[in-house]
C-alpha cells in the first residue's frame, strides 16, 4: 500500500492583487481621509469612524490571508506599514489639534526611532527584520482602539466622563506593550548579532 506524500506548506507568494492586499490598500486610503477630516473641517466624529474602521480591520487582512492561504510578500510588508502609517498620522493629527500631549507623541516616536536604528544595523549585517511579535501586534491593536475613543471623548463632551478614562487607559496599556515589544525586538537583534561570534 503506497503512502501519499504529505501536502507541502507553501510560502508567501509574489501575487499583488489578492483580497488581503486589497483590504490593506483600502486601509491605506483611509489615512489621508482621516487627516483631512481631523485637520480640515474638524469633523471629529467622522474622523473617529474612519480611524475606528482602519484600526479594527487591522486583523482582517491577516486573518483573510491565512484563511484563504493567500499570504503574499507584499502583504507581509503592507500590513505593518499600514499600522505604522495610521499610528503616525494619528499622532501628527492629534498633536496638532492638541488631543494628546507632546510626551505621548515623543514616547511612541522614540520607540519607532530606536527600532529603525536596530533594523538598519541588522540590514548592514545582512539580516532582515525580525518576525513580528504578538506583544507588538497587541500593542498596535490596543493603540488603534484607544485613539478613536480619546477623540470621541473630545468630540462628544457628554460621554467624556467614561470615554476619556477608557481611551487613556487603553493608550497607557498600549504604550507599555509597545515598549515591551521594542525591548523584545532589541533582544532579538542582539542575539542575531552575537550568533556569528559565538559560532566561531
| Average pLDDT over every residue of 5-11 | 47
136: its cell numbers: 507588538
- Which residues lie across from 72 on neighbouring strands? 13
Q: List Cβ neighbours of 163 (8 Å cut-off, separation of 6 or more).
A: 149, 150, 152, 153, 156
* pLDDT at 5 exceeding the cut of 60: no
Interaxial angle between packed helices 134-155 and 44-56, expressed in degrees from 0 to 180 and rounded to the nearest 10 = 160
Q: Determine the Cα–Cα distance for residues 81 and 72; give it in Å rounded to an integer.
A: 14
* pLDDT at 130 exceeding the cut of 90: no
Mean pLDDT of the chain: 84
Q: 181-197, pLDDT tens digit by residue?
A: 999 999 999 988 887 55
Instruction: Looking at the chain, list the stretches that DSSP marks H as alpha helix, in order from N- to C-terminal side.
Output: 19-39, 44-56, 58-67, 73-97, 102-124, 134-155, 160-199
Per-residue confidence (pLDDT) for residue 6, from 0 to 100: 43
Number of neighbouring beta carbons within 10 Å of residue 85: 17
Per-residue confidence (pLDDT) for residue 10, from 0 to 100: 53
Could you tell me the pLDDT band of residue 153, with boundaries at 50, 70 and 90?
very high
Per-residue confidence (pLDDT) for residue 200, from 0 to 100: 44
Q: Determine the Cα–Cα distance for residues 24 and 74; give it in Å rounded to an integer.
A: 10
Number of neighbouring beta carbons within 10 Å of residue 76: 17
| Average pLDDT over every residue of 100-109 | 93
| Average pLDDT over every residue of 153-169 | 95
Chain centroid to Cα 141, Å, comes to 7
Could you tell me the pLDDT band of residue 198, with boundaries at 50, 70 and 90?
very low
* pLDDT at 180 exceeding the cut of 60: yes
- What is the full DSSP assignment across 160-177? HHHHHHHHHHHHHHHHHH
51: its cell numbers: 480611524
Per-residue confidence (pLDDT) for residue 55, from 0 to 100: 78
**14-47: b (≥16 Cβ within 10 Å) or e:** eeeebebbebbeebeebbeebbebbeeeeebebb
Q: Model-level pTM?
A: 0.78
Per-residue confidence (pLDDT) for residue 9, from 0 to 100: 44
Q: 11-67, pLDDT tens digit by residue?
A: 566 777 777 778 888 888 999 999 999 999 999 999 999 998 887 776 776 677 677
Q: What is the CA radius of gyration of the chain?
A: 20
Q: Determine the Cα–Cα distance for residues 180 and 123; give it in Å rounded to an integer.
A: 22
Higher pLDDT, 63 or 111: 111
Per-residue confidence (pLDDT) for residue 65, from 0 to 100: 65
Per-residue confidence (pLDDT) for residue 43, from 0 to 100: 94
Chain centroid to Cα 157, Å, comes to 28
Q: 79-95, pLDDT tens digit by residue?
A: 778 888 988 999 999 99
Amino acid at each position: 500500500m503506497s503512502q501519499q506524500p504529505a501536502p507541502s506548506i507553501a510560502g508567501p507568494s509574489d501575487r499583488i492583487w489578492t483580497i488581503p492586499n486589497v483590504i490593506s490598500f483600502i486601509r491605506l486610503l483611509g489615512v489621508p481621509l482621516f487627516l483631512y477630516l481631523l485637520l480640515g473641517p474638524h469633523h471629529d466624529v467622522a474622523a473617529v469612524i474612519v480611524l475606528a474602521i482602519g484600526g479594527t480591520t487591522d486583523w482582517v487582512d491577516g486573518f483573510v490571508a491565512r484563511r484563504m492561504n493567500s499570504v503574499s510578500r507584499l502583504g507581509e510588508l503592507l500590513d505593518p506599514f499600514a499600522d505604522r502609517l495610521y499610528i503616525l498620522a494619528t499622532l501628527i493629527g492629534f498633536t496638532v489639534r492638541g488631543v494628546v500631549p507632546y510626551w505621548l507623541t515623543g514616547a511612541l516616536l522614540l520607540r519607532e526611532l530606536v527600532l529603525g536604528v536596530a533594523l538598519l544595523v541588522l540590514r548592514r549585517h545582512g539580516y532582515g527584520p525580525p518576525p513580528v511579535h504578538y506583544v507588538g501586534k497587541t500593542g498596535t491593536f490596543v493603540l488603534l482602539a484607544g485613539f478613536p475613543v480619546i477623540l470621541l471623548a473630545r468630540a462628544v463632551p457628554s460621554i467624556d466622563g467614561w470615554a476619556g478614562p477608557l481611551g487613556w487607559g487603553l493608550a497607557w496599556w498600549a504604550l507599555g506593550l509597545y515598549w515591551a515589544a521594542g525591548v523584545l525586538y532589541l533582544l532579538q537583534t542582539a542575539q542575531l548579532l552575537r550568533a556569528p561570534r559565538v559560532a566561531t
